[in-house]
Amino acid sequence: MTSRVVVLSAPSGGGKTTITKALLARRPDVGFSVSATTRRPRPGEQNHVAYHFLTRDEFARRRDAGAFVEWAEYAGEWYGTLKSEVDRVLHSGKHVVLDIEIQGARQVEQRYPAPQSIGIFILPPSAAAWTERLLGRGTESPVALARRLEQAIAEIRQSRTWRHIVINDDLDRAVEEVSKIIDADGAIPHRPHGERVNNLVEELVREADRLRHGA
Ligand code: ADP
Ligand code: 5GP
Q: Is residue 24 a part of any domain in this protein? A: yes
User: Sorting pLDDT into bands at 50, 70 and 90, what band is 181?
Assistant: very high
Residue nearest to atom 3 of ligand 2 (CA): 12
Please report the pLDDT score of residue 176 as a whole number. 98
Please name which ligand lies nearest the alpha carbon of 67. 2
Q: How many domains does the chain have?
A: 1
Residue nearest to atom 14 of ligand 2 (CA): 100
User: Sorting pLDDT into bands at 50, 70 and 90, what band is 109?
Assistant: very high
For residue range 91-100, list pLDDT tens digits in order.
Answer: 999 999 999 9
pTM: 0.95
3-state secondary structure at position 133? helix
Residue nearest to atom 11 of ligand 1 (CA): 133
Q: Is residue 67 a part of any domain in this protein? A: no
Rounded alpha-carbon distances, angstroms, from residue 158 to 50, 69, 102, 141, 171 = 27, 22, 9, 26, 23
Q: Is residue 10 a part of any domain in this protein? A: yes
Please report the pLDDT score of residue 212 as a whole number. 87
Q: Is residue 118 a part of any domain in this protein? A: yes
Name the residue of 18, 123, 130 to mutate for ligand 1: max ligand atoms within 8 A of Cβ. Answer: 18
- Domain of residue 15: give its range: 5-32+95-214
The domain that holds 168 is classified in CATH as 3.40.50.300
